[in-house]
Amino acid sequence: MNNENSTIRSLNELKTLFDSGAITAEEYDALKKRIIFGNSTPESPATEPVAPVVSSSPQSVNPIETKVIYPTRPETPEPPVATPPVVEQNTYDEEGESPMGVKPVPKKDWLLISLAVLGALLLLGLLAYQFFNKPQSERLTSKSGPDTEEVIPADVTQEDSPVDSTATFTDRADRIPVAGADSTATTPTASAPESANEVVTTPAEASNTAPTGLLTDKDEVIRKAQEQLNAYYNDMQSAPFEAANYFAPQVERYYTLTNTTPAAINENINTYHFPEFLNGQSSIQEGSMAVVSIGNNSYELTYLENGSAFRKSKNQKQETKAAVRVRFNPDFKITYFRQEQLLENRFITE
């Protein structure tokens, strides 16, 4: 019995070797015969029972061979083939594809669209504000001194000027009307109306003097005004300057200074004007002064001012012509002084 079991085990091992390809079919047959016939020869070479052993061994081997094949089936790589549908299903869920494999239309990001529209509206609003809210520029005025920097006039016209050996730059503007119908010399546009900011009376200008105490003779008013302004221009040629000799205790406006005093005007002129404007000279153009109004304890006049000075910062000589508006109190002290328009502004390189 033990010999028979050993033969069966040997046959099983031989079959395993043959199935694995370790031996060929000829070797398998030869070894099979050697196992079967080699173990049974010592007992009786001529006995007949050997045939049943030969016939019984293949019958017992066949069921064993079937049992050996079954365990190898789970090791085949066929089960992973079923995984691709799972991968496709996951891909469809992640990317949001439709069952037909077509991607749906992406949803709009309304927050991003709203921010873009809001930014465009803000930009348009800023541009509109800059376009429609342009502040009126202070022409011919300087924040630091009575003489002005270069200003580009609104309208430029060509005028004949004598040829100068030096290099010049001229920037001219149309003349504004010199207010007052009784002016001794008016410009070609003297019939134009006055601007809206003509007469502004402040409490500082009011006094107890009755309007009947004012001069009514315009020639006399012009004479006194010219006398006071000529003294003012002469004193402006060199330091020191004393504003109290020409200005009232309270001055409504002096160039760009508003609601100022003679002390503030002194500081402005001595700290800025004299160091910057060298050899400065200003004068009233002859025949240009005119009386605008007499009343409210003040005299209001307009005239053309011719000025020249050497600009230290530019290293050039500057020549200007400006339309000036001035008001005096009953004592002919200045309460208002402003260059309303720059008619000529020329820089000459010497």
Q: What's 186's domain CATH number?
A: 3.10.450.50
- Domain check: are 69 and 189 in the same one? no
For residue 90, being part of any structural domain is answered with no
- Domain check: are 63 and 200 in the same one? no
For residue 192, being part of any structural domain is answered with yes
pLDDT at 107 over 70: no
In the listed set 25, 55, 75, which residue is the last one of a domain according to the structure?
Answer: 75
pLDDT at 165 over 60: no
For residue 116, being part of any structural domain is answered with no
Residue 289 has a pLDDT of: 95
Residues 137 and 151: their CA atoms lie apart, in Å, by 10
Residue 16: domain span: 2-75
* For residues 251-259, average pLDDT: 93
Residue 83 has a pLDDT of: 58
* For residues 144-152, average pLDDT: 44
For residue 225, being part of any structural domain is answered with yes
For residue 302, being part of any structural domain is answered with yes
pLDDT at 325 over 90: yes
Convert the pLDDT of each residue in 267-319 to its tens digit: 999 888 888 898 889 999 999 999 999 988 899 999 999 999 999 898 999 99
pLDDT at 37 over 50: yes
Residue 27 has a pLDDT of: 83
* For residues 116-129, average pLDDT: 91
pLDDT at 178 over 80: no
- Domain check: are 181 and 307 in the same one? yes
Cβ atoms of 225 and 299 within 8 Å: the answer is yes
Number of domains in the chain: 2
Beta-ladder partners of 247: 334
Higher pLDDT, 240 or 232: 232
Token readout for 282 is 């200003």
Residues of the chain with pLDDT > 90: what percent? 32
Higher pLDDT, 92 or 214: 214
Residue 117 has a pLDDT of: 93
Residue 210 has a pLDDT of: 39
In the listed set 75, 92, 113, which residue is the last one of a domain according to the structure?
Answer: 75
For residue 254, being part of any structural domain is answered with yes
Cβ atoms of 50 and 39 within 8 Å: the answer is no
**What is the pTM (predicted TM-score) of this model?**
0.42
> Which residue, 145, 333, 324, is CA-closest to 250?
333
Residues 294 and 213: their CA atoms lie apart, in Å, by 11
- Domain check: are 221 and 325 in the same one? yes
In the structure, what pLDDT confidence band is assigned to residue 263 with cuts at 50, 70 and 90? Answer: very high
pLDDT at 137 over 50: no
Residue 181 has a pLDDT of: 36
Token readout for 52 is 């049943």
Higher pLDDT, 206 or 88: 88
pLDDT at 265 over 70: yes
* For residues 104-124, average pLDDT: 85
Instruction: Give the sign of the dihedral formed by CA 316, CA 321, CA 325, CA 331.
Output: positive
For residue 105, being part of any structural domain is answered with no
Within 10 angstroms of residue 15's Cβ, the number of other Cβ atoms is: 16
- Domain check: are 223 and 333 in the same one? yes
In the structure, what pLDDT confidence band is assigned to residue 71 with cuts at 50, 70 and 90? Answer: low
For residue 49, being part of any structural domain is answered with yes
**Count of CA atoms in the C-beta half-sphere (13 A) of 340:** 21
In the listed set 43, 75, 107, which residue is the last one of a domain according to the structure?
Answer: 75
